Chain A
């Protein structure tokens, strides 16, 4: 089926099979391999991307459902500089080890920070509770998101 959409600000026209999910479409047809596939059924959060401003599990969405939509992946958020401060906080706090969950984690964290100016640790833990990380034990991630939230808060204050 033909689909037209916007991916990281660029127009994309593609032919896809109806059964192709968004994660495989991004990874295999567009070579946007920053979106990772972990559990393949919406539990681990590694494939989290943004569709029309909302974060979604790209393994649970069909590529055809994004016809006419605007999709943003970790490559787009990185290139635009939107999450540069969050990435710097992750680096300084060693909030990633193998890095496989990190693109999805950054997506989910940025989503929280857009919704809520200064979330507390419990709220951060709760918002990221759909993103599995086997390496860090989460504490460094919570710290990095908390640090970023405070820094953004003090900038806007």
Chain B
């Protein structure tokens, strides 16, 4: 890792001796996971627990004429077979819309289908048994009579008058449309030396978390309370919605989130089968466990990125980009997902295209259509890979058209590093970005000129390598502007409570969650640094609505920036409180004291005055010895939400170096570089690993991943043998560098980093493939870049 600081501002509260900020310390609690002692929901067993298996529709669109479950109910071990209509007695339907996405419409969705199924994989009945195996056996003998209906599968014809309307009550299949027209686009195109146009096509893909979605719901009829154990990124959101649809108050629902086997946005939504599991527990008055199998995961975990985007760019001979224009189309399945909706990705595409560049001329349209496929919604880097691929693909096409180097055209158009604060044509406000510093650093890291020379030398030997560059911006630290303003009960603030225990250790409760990103670590690092307590004496509790402050959780690259700031502020209050008590005990003043290495010390000479353990002993067990009127408060809570900027934008640039075998169409990734700027680096190693993991998800999208549907709406590769994911053998080493521009909105200065890798990786690869194929005159603007796609473009097949 290499770091360049563009803003050398010193962080007083954190820049202390023995500070953990900026240190690559190992995450706490990894031993548990490495020794097989983790507790994932799929590991959980409760007394009297029933296992639910959902019988799922084999058809993309069909009327349910009848369900005969008599034989299944008589199978020994079967506890119940429940249809959608029966379950509707305990749970209400929902509609996935938000008021700030004007005009967004969707139809009521039930936990289990009633009367009609709208995608292959929608649940039609729940079979609950004493074991999963018995439930699966019984599911096989439930008879469902379907009357197949015409399936709407092709997004391009979804709005045609001849196409059936999936939900007649909505009038048409258009869920959402947004138009934007900024600057003088027509005049800009007219004044350009060249206008280049391309149709960008993105494969529908999905998150493929290694642990499938899993829930154990435990309705305790005696307590009149539901406990939900679920691998979710947003426990309080689940609590709110489960209560709402089960007719309970939030205080009657507790959500507990233990270890989570991968999330990436897949586990930030509320799925029908999860709602059904909560409802079944209430209906059957016992714990119910649902663990999706892999086929169910592919058919029901949200998909993403199914977009076709026609893009245009205008450019002058001197390399100045004059305008961007896009016409984006996406198909989201039969329902807008709940509660975050399925219009966000398209909305982000409109927001983000052209984002790194100066031009103010930008016109965009996006249309979001309904179809009879699995639902689409937010997956890691929502909208960014599409916006980045379209933007950066167009920039490369423009560069090729005017015969300019791809780096040079970017340098002439990226927003200057001293131009901030400023705003994009779509209204995004940028506080402080560093596109040029990032590009300069990238050039050094990859030795761009030497690589170009190597590329040229290899060309003469018939070896076709390519370099692809992709600049990007990323939405992080979202305020209430993301969901709250649209009416969703999704908190954008987070809270942290910190307390000193009776032995001078620290217990910290935070509302952000952990799925492996390092939330525990960054919280402990911040709290330990502010308090002067060693990290191993800080225990972090998260993922339990009964035992943490209220907050949003971990998604949208928000954990470190928002939850981290709350931790910082809470620790500062506790520190003051501790020093006040210490001053009373030591007959000193708090200004003359400090905390370091788990002890009260003199601020001046650092001499140890009293162990924290001793202070805690006095406070908790001998308060009678404190001076009169001193009431120690060794617990502090603070909450934080960004108010100044709706989002803390980050930026970065990626580069790919790869080789295309023009005989087989195979792409070999040789190296990948990322320079990004997420502000303050709390734990550089964790940031780098977020970047690397994110890049590889983007590389999967670029080369392999696609949910292959046929024209009848059947998903034909719903397993891990046919749906290809990146494995270690095909992945390159990834070099990560940083520019550091802290946000001034927080004392911590941290912005998010979790999605930057995914945002730009596919764009860099696509540009590199086109760079490699340039002598052949082939241009590909479709991912995944399979051998078939490449050979077709080369005219070889």
> Contact: B728 with A131, CB < 8 Å?
yes
Interface residues on B, range: 35 or more
A100 nearest CB neighbor, chain B only = B261
**Pairs of residues from A and B, 5 with the lowest C-beta to C-beta distance, nearest first:** A34-B36, A99-B33, A97-B516, A100-B261, A137-B696
CA gap between A126 and B685 in the complex, in Å: 25
Contacts A74-B35, A96-B516 given; does A39 touch B294 at CB 8 Å: yes
Does chain A have a CB within 8 A of B85? Answer: no
CA gap between A44 and B133 in the complex, in Å: 22
> Contact: A73 with B696, CB < 8 Å?
no
Contacting A94 at CB < 8 Å: which of B133, B685, B697, B733?
B685
> Contact: A36 with B693, CB < 8 Å?
no
Q: Which among A50-58, A63-71, A84-92, A149-157 touches the partner chain?
A: A84-92
User: How far in angstroms is the closest Cβ of chain A from B252?
Assistant: 30
Contacts of A17 in B (CB 8 A): 133
> What would be 25 A-B contacts, judged by CB atoms less than 8 Å apart?
A33-B36, A34-B38, A36-B40, A39-B294, A39-B720, A40-B293, A43-B720, A74-B34, A75-B36, A75-B37, A78-B35, A90-B30, A91-B30, A91-B31, A94-B686, A98-B209, A98-B262, A98-B263, A98-B516, A99-B34, A99-B259, A100-B40, A106-B34, A134-B693, A137-B731
Extra inter-chain contacts (11) besides given A96-B516, A99-B32, A139-B733, CB under 8 Å: A35-B36, A91-B26, A96-B33, A98-B211, A98-B259, A100-B261, A102-B34, A124-B728, A129-B729, A134-B725, A138-B727
0 or 1 for each of B666-701: is its CB under 8 Å from A? (1 = yes): 000000000000000000011001001111110000
Contacts A98-B259, A134-B209 given; does A92 touch B516 at CB 8 Å: no
> Contact: B719 with A39, CB < 8 Å?
yes
Contacts of B731 in A (CB 8 A): 125, 137-139
Contacts of A74 in B (CB 8 A): 34-36
B190-227 contacts to A (CB < 8 Å): 207-211
Contacts A39-B294, A97-B516, A103-B36 given; does A132 touch B720 at CB 8 Å: yes
> Contact: A98 with B43, CB < 8 Å?
no
User: How far in angstroms is the closest Cβ of chain A from B683?
Assistant: 9
User: How far in angstroms is the closest Cβ of chain A from B661?
Assistant: 18
B261 nearest CB neighbor, chain A only = A100
User: How far in angstroms is the closest Cβ of chain B from A105?
Assistant: 9
Contacting B696 at CB < 8 Å: which of A34, A43, A138?
A138
User: How far in angstroms is the closest Cβ of chain B from A14?
Assistant: 16
Contacts of A116 in B (CB 8 A): none
> Contact: B36 with A100, CB < 8 Å?
no
Contacts of B725 in A (CB 8 A): 132, 134
Contacts of B612 in A (CB 8 A): none
CA gap between A32 and B38 in the complex, in Å: 11
Contacts of A135 in B (CB 8 A): 262, 516, 693
Contacts of A40 in B (CB 8 A): 293-294
CA gap between A130 and B719 in the complex, in Å: 15
0 or 1 for each of A14-53: is its CB under 8 Å from B? (1 = yes): 0001010000000100011111111111011010000000
Contacts A44-B720, A78-B34, A133-B210 given; does A98 touch B727 at CB 8 Å: no
Contacts of A132 in B (CB 8 A): 210, 720, 725, 727
Contacts of B757 in A (CB 8 A): 137
- Please list the residues of chain A having a beta carbon within 8 angstroms of any beta carbon in chain B: 17, 19, 27, 31-41, 43-44, 46, 73-75, 78, 87, 90-94, 96-103, 106, 121, 124-126, 128-142
> Contact: B262 with A140, CB < 8 Å?
no
CA gap between A136 and B694 in the complex, in Å: 8
> Contact: B734 with A137, CB < 8 Å?
yes
Contacts of B33 in A (CB 8 A): 96, 98-99, 102
Contacts of A101 in B (CB 8 A): 210
CA gap between A59 and B516 in the complex, in Å: 25
CA gap between A40 and B208 in the complex, in Å: 13
Contacting A32 at CB < 8 Å: which of B36, B208, B730?
B36
Contacting A141 at CB < 8 Å: which of B261, B697, B728, B730?
B728
CA gap between A35 and B38 in the complex, in Å: 11
CA gap between A128 and B730 in the complex, in Å: 11
CA gap between A61 and B693 in the complex, in Å: 31
CA gap between A27 and B40 in the complex, in Å: 12
Contacts of A124 in B (CB 8 A): 728
CA gap between A73 and B36 in the complex, in Å: 9
B293 nearest CB neighbor, chain A only = A40
Does chain A have a CB within 8 A of B27? Answer: yes
Contacts of B293 in A (CB 8 A): 40
0 or 1 for each of B721-762: is its CB under 8 Å from A? (1 = yes): 100011111110110000000000000000000000100000
0 or 1 for each of B31-57: is its CB under 8 Å from A? (1 = yes): 111111111101101000000000000
CA gap between A37 and B210 in the complex, in Å: 8
CA gap between A102 and B37 in the complex, in Å: 11
Contacts of B696 in A (CB 8 A): 136-138
CA gap between A122 and B470 in the complex, in Å: 27
Contacts A135-B516, A138-B728 given; does A38 touch B695 at CB 8 Å: no
Contacts A87-B35, A135-B262 given; does A125 touch B720 at CB 8 Å: no
B131 nearest CB neighbor, chain A only = A28
User: How far in angstroms is the closest Cβ of chain A from B133?
Assistant: 8
A44 nearest CB neighbor, chain B only = B720
Does chain A have a CB within 8 A of B430? Answer: no
CA gap between A43 and B718 in the complex, in Å: 13
Contacting B734 at CB < 8 Å: which of A27, A103, A133, A139?
A139
Contacts of A41 in B (CB 8 A): 294, 719-721
Contacts A100-B40, A126-B729 given; does A136 touch B35 at CB 8 Å: no
> Contact: B27 with A100, CB < 8 Å?
no
User: How far in angstroms is the closest Cβ of chain B from A135?
Assistant: 5
> Contact: A27 with B34, CB < 8 Å?
no
Contacts A41-B719, A91-B26 given; does A34 touch B35 at CB 8 Å: yes
Does chain A have a CB within 8 A of B529? Answer: no
Contacts of A130 in B (CB 8 A): 727
CA gap between A64 and B39 in the complex, in Å: 27
Contacts of A133 in B (CB 8 A): 210, 728
Contacting A44 at CB < 8 Å: which of B31, B43, B210, B260?
B210
User: How far in angstroms is the closest Cβ of chain B from A88?
Assistant: 9
User: How far in angstroms is the closest Cβ of chain B from A50?
Assistant: 13
> Contact: B43 with A33, CB < 8 Å?
yes
> Contact: A97 with B517, CB < 8 Å?
yes
A74 nearest CB neighbor, chain B only = B36
A46 nearest CB neighbor, chain B only = B210
Contacts of A100 in B (CB 8 A): 40, 209-211, 261-262
CA gap between A37 and B211 in the complex, in Å: 7
Contacts of B43 in A (CB 8 A): 27, 33
Does chain A have a CB within 8 A of B20? Answer: no
Contacts of A129 in B (CB 8 A): 727-730
User: How far in angstroms is the closest Cβ of chain B from A15?
Assistant: 14
> Contact: A140 with B689, CB < 8 Å?
yes
> Contact: A140 with B211, CB < 8 Å?
no
Does chain A have a CB within 8 A of B555? Answer: no
B514 nearest CB neighbor, chain A only = A98
> Contact: A128 with B728, CB < 8 Å?
yes
0 or 1 for each of B118-138: is its CB under 8 Å from A? (1 = yes): 000000000000000100000
CA gap between A136 and B699 in the complex, in Å: 13
Contacts of B479 in A (CB 8 A): none
CA gap between A102 and B293 in the complex, in Å: 20
> Contact: A99 with B31, CB < 8 Å?
no
Contacts of A99 in B (CB 8 A): 30, 32-34, 38, 259, 261, 516
Contacting A36 at CB < 8 Å: which of B30, B261, B515?
B261
CA gap between A126 and B133 in the complex, in Å: 35
A17 nearest CB neighbor, chain B only = B133
User: How far in angstroms is the closest Cβ of chain A from B601?
Assistant: 30
Contacts of A93 in B (CB 8 A): 685
> Contact: B36 with A137, CB < 8 Å?
no
A104 nearest CB neighbor, chain B only = B210
Contacts of A139 in B (CB 8 A): 692, 731, 733-734
Contacts of B263 in A (CB 8 A): 98
